[in-house]
Structure 1
Amino acid sequence: MKARYFSPLLLAGAAVAVVTLPSHRTTSLPNNAIPNKFIFEVASVSEIPRDLQGRSPHEAVYDSLRKRGVGFTVDREFNHEGLFVGASVTLDNADDVKTLVSDPKIQALRPVISIPSPKDQLKKLEIVKSRSDPHVPADTESTHILTGVDKLHAKGVLGKGIKIGIIDTGTDYTHPSLGGGFGPGFKVAGGFDFVGDAYDGSNTPVPDNDPLDQCNGHGTHVAGIIGANPGNEFNISGVAYESTIFSYRLFGCSGSVSDDIIVEALLRGVSDGMNILTMSLGGADGWTESSSSVVSSRISATGRIVTIAAGNDGAFGSWYSSSPGNGINSLSVASIENTVIPLQNATVSGDVTHDPITYFATFPLPINDTRPVYATSNDTTVVDDACDPLPDSTPDLSKFIVVIRRGTCTFVQKLQNAADKGMTAALIYDNGNGFAAITVDNFTATLIQADDGAFLVEQFAAGKEVLLTFPQSGADTQFPSDVGGLVSTFTSYGPTNDMFFKPAIAAPGGNIISTFPVPLGSFAVLSGTSMATPFMAGVSALLFGVKGTSPAVGIAARDLFQTTAQKVPSSKTDGDPLQTLTQQGAGLVDAFHALNTHIIVSPGQFVLNDTANFKPLQTFTVKNTGRTSKSFKLSHVPAGTATTVTAGDIFAADGPVPLTTQYASVKFSESSFTVRPGQTQKLTAHFTAPKGVDATTFPVFSGWIQLTSADEQLQVAYMGLAASLKDKQIVDNTDEFFGLQLPAILDTAGDVQVAPTNYTFNGTDAPTLLFRLAFGTPLILVDLVPSNAKISTTLNRREELDLLPRKSSSSIKTLGNVFEFDYSPRNSDASDAADNGWSEITLTNTFANGTTIPNGSYKLLFRALKVTGSPKNEADFESWLSPVIGVAA
């Protein structure tokens, strides 16, 4: 079946700013689509018509396009039978995309999209220089202990003979811990640079055979998580440090990459014989349809393991999963926080005795002298300490360490009031909200724990001299993380808009020390799903090393990892629910359990779908590959139900997404069973969605079917929606973001058009359609209709239109399509363009097929298809009709 296509005009930006209108002359496209660039897929050689035999399927398409007058440049060809045969092309005229989509030799057509360079989640890059440096995690092998990798290493399971392809920013293979060289016989035995140092996503790639990276570093950090040799000064080792690495570089020193290069790298990795491909990259998408997602999924289906970052957009809430991590069969990896935090200690002296005081900083505060403390209030219960200007009696604070209690106003406001009295350094003590990093702008200040702050204030109030010193080395502390073992808050939430189970699994990704390019410092501490993903690739290598590299092992890997995973709570507070599976996947990988169990449970996940398409009856099997019988009891372990949409609103709830204890219920065909050696037991589970939930919040319920024996637990994860996706409003028609009701037409000056307005389409004299999506949509259509059209729409205010009864069984008659986009993600509520805050389309005076729009008066009909809706049913679209637009070209 032919895929839908994207037909661009000139346009589409992304950004957001409350009340302030955007500049509407942007050039970026929705979903980061690159203008005029498309990837087409053709039938394999064996499937093309006989009269085309003798020519490659690519040449057959090129010849057909030339005969129809289409100008194009071939950027790259793909010719991997069984995975992907096609090409990426740049059209001279974007309107010619209609010709491509109508070509019977083209099976699918997708826009080429831009994927941003991977970024870690730390505010400051932490380069480490020695084992005594304060920002080295206290237990550098803590991630191995957390996941059972340490036990496998102790048994000599190290990934020897397994090939892992790292698709990233390249690798500094000169690093001693990464083998110190490149080519056969070295740890980094091969690879390719698809782009070159200078590539930034907007210029021409300059490929070569050397994937060395000494300017970015991300890929080198990834490589160390997989393969760093032990025996270095930081006592770290890769998860599979005897594996062989191939490095595929597709980012320059900075910038983005087009996903046709990602596809090329994936296929190159398959041709080079990689057992595992890993990609710590991606961008918010919400759908499973991008080219790199599709190819990743197909590769996974052949028995290779593909691990991909789940994304770092957790702050934007649910239904915001990342591509290519959305590949249906690939392993999308969430991040778990490391169990330790590298922090600093200040020493206490003077008239008092006290243990060193831990302060929340990975580097020492730049204070080289010993200073007395000064408390802005002697009352340790004050709720608004330093929220108002300090009194005139306050001394010059420049030579003190100022101690302030947390609460009421912002940290920066407190610090500014103290700075007005000369403060140059301060410690804010906690009031019970939690010991964590705080935002202090450019002030020299950080947080200390409540008891330490109370001690300092009480001693100061008693008139005792209290002195603090901040050692610049050797004062690091092994501080247990109070969120260690929890899902990193930055991890993107699923599921996909079409209800696929994303992410699939979790691995350590928060606060990870690994290798870094030698010129940039050799070792660094980074955080992100980028760090969890290579960890999972390393675990996959251990699996292949033990079980063999047959396709059957690779195909079953996801089920094995999911059914042996560790359940992750939502907090450290007793009674709080387990974290929603929309963020943790099936749980934290337990490598030792996965490689040592003799019980194979399949499948590893159930997708129950929404209420309109609910699949309550699920079947799974339990196979005993061991030598003794095992008896199990079945139970239901629910996770927190995710309130994915804010109550009374249409927008996704920001992360951390609120959780409730309104759980599903489950009945089993058997409550207990015994499975003998070699036997397979078939079981069923019947699910009932949670009762009493508010369907307008689109609650996603999830959890596990748990199988418990005398010596182990296994599980099957599940996820469902207690609402109908078809009921979810797609288009933002509120005034919450810009102070004006959306969608809207902006005129040449960038003001909202209200009255009929003529445009010449000379230069910048053209209208712009501004809109936001509150949820993803499979299809956006923007069509031209007569100015006197009487069309029933769903989003306009009724008093503005002459409405007719809606006809749900037939399509609306239009003058022609001017814009179409498939599989659009929702917009975020971010305040900058890079984070997908809005979309806008600046129109030309042509239809999408390239024909000129005659001068005259028209309206734009904007339509967005509801999820699970039919494009043939007009009632399944949300629609909006614009003010009158005059074409006077």
Structure 2
Amino acid sequence: MKPAIFALTLFSSAFAVAPIPTAQQAKDASNYVPNAYIVEFSEEALSRRSLISRHEVYAAISQKGIPFSIGEEYDTPGIFTGAAIWLSSPGDVAKLSEIPGVQAIRPVVKVPAPKPVGLTVVKNPMTTGLPDSYSTHVMTGVDKVHARGIFGSDINIGMYAHLRPGIDYNHPLLGGGFGPGYKVPGGYDLVGDAFNGQNAPEPDNDPLDECNGHGTHVAGIIGASPDNDMGINGVASNASLFSYRIFGCIGYTTDDIITTALIQGYNEKMDILTLSLGGPSGWTEGTASVVASRIAAQGRVVTAAAGNDGQEGAWYTSDPGGGIGVISVASVDNIVSSVQNASVQGVDHDPIPYFMALPLNATGDWPIYATSTDISQVNDACNPLPDDTPDLSGFVVIVHRGTCEFTQKLSMIAEKGGKVALIYNSDTAAFSPIAVGNFPAALISAADGKFLVEQFVAKANITISFPQTGAAATIPNPDGGLISAFSTIGPTFPMYLSPALAAPGGNILSTLPLKMGGYGVESGTSMSTPFVAGAAALIFESLGTAAEVQSTGGTKNGEMAEVGRAVIRILQTTAASVASTHTDGAPPRTVAQQGAGLIQVDRAINMKTIVEPGQIALNDTDHFKPNHTISITNMGSKVVTYQLQHIPAGTISTVAPNFPFVESVPIVVSANAVVTFSRSSVTVYPGDTEQFHAIFTPPSGVDNKTLPVYSGFISVTSPAETLKVTYMGVAASLKATTILDSTDEFFGISLPAVINADGYPQERPTNYTFVGRDFPYLLLRQVFLFLRHRLWLTSAHRLVFGTALVRFDLVDKDIQFTPTIPLSKRDPYTGWWSQSTARTFGKVKTIGPLGQVEYQARSIDDPSNGYDSFAFQGTFANGTRIDDGQYRPLLRALKVGGDRSKEEDYESWVGPQFGVVTP
């Protein structure tokens, strides 16, 4: 098989409607390390006599005349064998792909440190009113497992967190030391404090982290020692935590380092590997995903964050969470919340809870000022306040939530001198932490806000104070137990179930480095992911010798591997479905966001029934298979009769009906799948297995142009327990989904388009000398190509949906080809990149390939973050020079599920004529 290659210098950058970014801006904001590639070697080729070692591969590369340097090396057969290689020219990638033993070539990807959701540092251990971890244990049945004396003993957990991972192992709740006999007996710092992603790593044997704390927060969720004044209690407090540090104190890391850490954890016999990291992808082909998938196939549990991009709509899953067999974890809000109470003076009213873990830094009694007396005005303070607004420096400013960002409202208040603000909630929004930047402001309830506005209108003699001690409390979270608003929505483009599960991740108290105060509250799927890792440790301790695996007759290690491969199914079939709201009778949340639901660890450990499979991927209408077999195994000692029931989780419309963009908030439609069973109940004798058939019919009456994602559960209920099988499908053809954006919504001009250096669309054939500013670029959004000097072409295109392949070719100016996007419209596993030297593609005669990019995520609506770009300098993908002449650019994007060899499975566009002219 010809290896897949990466043929261009690839960049990623921030998208803005205006001005269009320059080539340098695109390069500076790159998501990829220029000229750096992870090369996978064929283990079969390396085992042959003619090519017996990686060093012979290196020698063959040198014989090809390819200058290169070697970075990370990987030598774990069955998991990954290869090396990270730096090339002098992107054109050398094509030559590299011809080396015997080279199986795949993938770009080295930058992994930035995402911002935490709602971080509150608690420096005073005597602070009251903080959520303790017991509430999350009650939500998931962990408290019942602990009551049985199960705490994850003799289980090794390797940790890879996304914000400066590492552990402050000096924390008393994390063992107070490092090395054999401590809670953190080992680990490795792969980068050093000074590493920022752009300099050389300086690894050492000490994974201590004192400069950020995210890894320490994750560690506390898994394994903090119980019986402390803060009420923190790790899910698996007796487990051993091994820290693999992959970030320095600032900057980003790269996936070649993440791959090294994963393989090191695997080789050091970690039972569980947990990664609170990832970035939007929708595919399973990134290096970290490939390695994580292979490790999971060996029976090690791998948990990964689903992502915190719920506001971006569906089809936005993260890598490596989308890896096959990897447990991608969604977030559920804690059932309790931390609040402070503001005191009210002058009128009779109870204290007003405001959503902060620590008091607002404002002393004394403050009169109030409402920016609007109309409580229905949701755009309150989105625009500059009236000229007659008084100096607000002496008031607590009361402002309504809605329309624009909180920081925008607060900036309008600050322009009038405001120093403290209370934002009152809308009637429908969640009462939860909000992002207010550095401004002293907090959220209060809608009822309290309306009361204060009424008092302001009545000119009551009212003041508010913020006690600095003794005013903390915990309250029932009205959204507790529901999916967190920030939790990413799937599925993957190949229709894998991602996220797979959910766990508590919203408003979680845990440990921080002692130098940061010791404790803090954070939210995110980074918090729910280690919770599932801890749950897996409890399952390992309990089921390592369970009847389910005793039948294998294997060793203890073999039994453990069988349990490891079964953990995702065990947790899915015993999970509790998460409702869409707390309203009685509300349907479950879409499986695309909750996966199989909130884990129930006590059910997982105590189950007397095995139901297989744990999930059913029904795919799209082109690949739909209606009939599925489900088996039930009775591990108990009595005959059991199981009742079968279909519980739909609703259908969501994911794409706008008359516009090719994914909805930022999926719309729930009143249509469900229909499921019929071959029998209504199943009786199973002890130790036996029985099967039944489920026949699925997608929902009818839905608009397939909106990509309706339907989902639900098959409930299998006995008098003693309830288990389930989770399913999901899309009632449309993914191949029919639009890939390329041809609107004018983002850059103000219709896409695709060729633009000159001054920012004007090219309307007629134009020659370019590529001297100074005389060059064009192809604007499509997502990939940005500049023609400069001999030829520097950068292209940007907007992908309204994911694609497995975007290909660029140079074609003759007189090409006879009818693209899917007319020019007149002016309004898998083996690798990411592949190279074809053929001069034709279907009916299209090409002069030569410029390059191609594979497995691309869809673009998003955020104008500050939404395009990828690549550049090449005067050569085709194989490094040969482009002659002077008249050409057109040809762009093609493969439809989801399309055949790469079929021209009709691509969207295409041919650009206007341009000339390459040497001055």
TM over 0.5: yes
Query: In structure 2, what is the Cα distance between the partners aligned to 1:279 and 1:27?
Result: 29
* Superimposed CA distance per residue, residues 576-613 of structure 1 (whole angstroms, 9 cap, x where no aligned partner): 43211111111111111001111011110000110011
Structure 1 gaps of 5+ residues are 801-807
Give the corresponding residue for 1:714: 723
1:297 aligned to 293, 317, 325, which one? 293
Give the corresponding residue for 2:20: 21
Contact 2:642 / 2:718 at 8 angstroms: preserved in 1?
Answer: yes
- The 3 A distance-change label for structure 1 pair 608 and 385 is closer
The one-letter code sitting in structure 1 at the alignment partner of 2:572 is: Q
Give the corresponding residue for 2:690: 681
SS in 2 for 1:658: strand
- The 3 A distance-change label for structure 1 pair 225 and 614 is same
The one-letter code sitting in structure 2 at the alignment partner of 1:651 is: F
SS in 1 for 2:887: strand
Query: In structure 2, what is the Cα distance between the partners aligned to 1:799 and 1:514?
Result: 55
Give the corresponding residue for 1:785: 811
Aligned 1:610-649 pairs, distance under 5 A: 610-649=620-659
Contact 1:603 / 1:716 at 8 angstroms: preserved in 2?
Answer: yes
Residue 663 (1) aligns with residue 689 (2) = no
SS in 1 for 2:35: strand
Give the corresponding residue for 1:725: 734
Aligned 1:578-593 pairs, distance under 5 A: 578-593=588-603
1:878 aligned to 900, 907, 911, which one? 907
Query: In structure 2, what is the Cα distance between the partners aligned to 1:701 and 1:776?
Result: 19
Query: Aligned-pair distance for 1:457?
Result: 5.1
Query: In structure 1, what is the Cα distance between the partners aligned to 2:459 and 2:894?
Result: 70
Contact 1:134 / 1:364 at 8 angstroms: preserved in 2?
Answer: no
SS in 1 for 2:295: helix
Query: In structure 1, what is the Cα distance between the partners aligned to 2:107 and 2:677?
Result: 45
1:864 aligned to 893, 896, 900, which one? 893
1:518 aligned to 514, 518, 524, which one? 514
Query: In structure 1, what is the Cα distance between the partners aligned to 2:371 and 2:26?
Result: 52
- The 3 A distance-change label for structure 1 pair 881 and 414 is closer
- The 3 A distance-change label for structure 1 pair 527 and 415 is closer
SS in 1 for 2:97: helix
Contact 2:746 / 2:863 at 8 angstroms: preserved in 1?
Answer: no
1:251 aligned to 247, 252, 255, which one? 247
Query: Aligned-pair distance for 1:89?
Result: 0.9
Give the corresponding residue for 1:560: 570
Query: In structure 1, what is the Cα distance between the partners aligned to 2:618 and 2:114?
Result: 33
Aligned 1:155-194 pairs, distance under 5 A: 155-168=148-161, 169-194=165-190
- The 3 A distance-change label for structure 1 pair 631 and 179 is same
Contact 1:745 / 1:767 at 8 angstroms: preserved in 2?
Answer: no
Query: In structure 1, what is the Cα distance between the partners aligned to 2:69 and 2:210?
Result: 32
SS in 2 for 1:639: strand
SS in 2 for 1:12: strand
Contact 1:337 / 1:509 at 8 angstroms: preserved in 2?
Answer: yes
- The 3 A distance-change label for structure 1 pair 589 and 322 is same
- The 3 A distance-change label for structure 1 pair 163 and 421 is closer
Give the corresponding residue for 2:796: 770
Decide which moves more: 606-615 or 63-72: 63-72
Query: Aligned-pair distance for 1:760?
Result: 4.1
Decide which moves more: 364-373 or 498-507: 364-373
Residue 145 (1) aligns with residue 118 (2) = no
Residue 79 (1) aligns with residue 75 (2) = yes
Decide which moves more: 449-458 or 674-683: 449-458
- The 3 A distance-change label for structure 1 pair 2 and 705 is farther
Contact 2:890 / 2:911 at 8 angstroms: preserved in 1?
Answer: yes
Query: Aligned-pair distance for 1:406?
Result: 5.8
Query: In structure 2, what is the Cα distance between the partners aligned to 1:114 and 1:386?
Result: 38
Residue 825 (1) aligns with residue 876 (2) = no
Q: Give the % identical residues.
A: 49
Query: In structure 2, what is the Cα distance between the partners aligned to 1:387 and 1:741?
Result: 30
Query: Aligned-pair distance for 1:38?
Result: 1.6
Query: In structure 2, what is the Cα distance between the partners aligned to 1:505 and 1:117?
Result: 24
Query: In structure 2, what is the Cα distance between the partners aligned to 1:394 and 1:23?
Result: 42
- The 3 A distance-change label for structure 1 pair 259 and 439 is closer
Query: In structure 2, what is the Cα distance between the partners aligned to 1:62 and 1:512?
Result: 49
Query: In structure 2, what is the Cα distance between the partners aligned to 1:294 and 1:704?
Result: 29
Relative to the length of structure 2, the TM-score reads 0.90
SS in 1 for 2:91: helix
Decide which moves more: 387-396 or 314-323: 387-396
- The 3 A distance-change label for structure 1 pair 417 and 814 is closer
Query: In structure 2, what is the Cα distance between the partners aligned to 1:214 and 1:666?
Result: 53
Structure 2 gaps of 5+ residues are 545-556, 773-787, 827-839
Contact 1:134 / 1:342 at 8 angstroms: preserved in 2?
Answer: no
Contact 1:745 / 1:770 at 8 angstroms: preserved in 2?
Answer: no
Query: Aligned-pair distance for 1:366?
Result: 2.4
Aligned 1:260-299 pairs, distance under 5 A: 260-299=256-295
Decide which moves more: 640-649 or 729-738: 640-649
Query: In structure 1, what is the Cα distance between the partners aligned to 2:79 and 2:264?
Result: 12
Query: In structure 2, what is the Cα distance between the partners aligned to 1:388 and 1:618?
Result: 56
Query: Aligned-pair distance for 1:476?
Result: 1.1
* Superimposed CA distance per residue, residues 296-344 of structure 1 (whole angstroms, 9 cap, x where no aligned partner): 1111111110111111122111111111111111111111111112111
Residue 855 (1) aligns with residue 884 (2) = yes
Query: Aligned-pair distance for 1:121?
Result: 1.4
Give the corresponding residue for 1:313: 309
Query: Aligned-pair distance for 1:285?
Result: 1.0
The one-letter code sitting in structure 1 at the alignment partner of 2:483 is: V
- The 3 A distance-change label for structure 1 pair 281 and 676 is same
Give the corresponding residue for 1:486: 482
Contact 2:11 / 2:31 at 8 angstroms: preserved in 1?
Answer: no
Give the corresponding residue for 1:804: none
The one-letter code sitting in structure 2 at the alignment partner of 1:792 is: T
* Superimposed CA distance per residue, residues 741-767 of structure 1 (whole angstroms, 9 cap, x where no aligned partner): 112233334443333333445675444
* Superimposed CA distance per residue, residues 772-809 of structure 1 (whole angstroms, 9 cap, x where no aligned partner): 11111111110111122222111124579xxxxxxx99
* Superimposed CA distance per residue, residues 805-841 of structure 1 (whole angstroms, 9 cap, x where no aligned partner): xxx9924211110111111111112222xx3x12334
Tell me how large the CA RMSD over aligned residues is.
Answer: 2.8
Contact 1:856 / 1:888 at 8 angstroms: preserved in 2?
Answer: yes
- The 3 A distance-change label for structure 1 pair 184 and 19 is same
- The 3 A distance-change label for structure 1 pair 81 and 799 is closer
SS in 2 for 1:260: helix
The one-letter code sitting in structure 1 at the alignment partner of 2:543 is: K
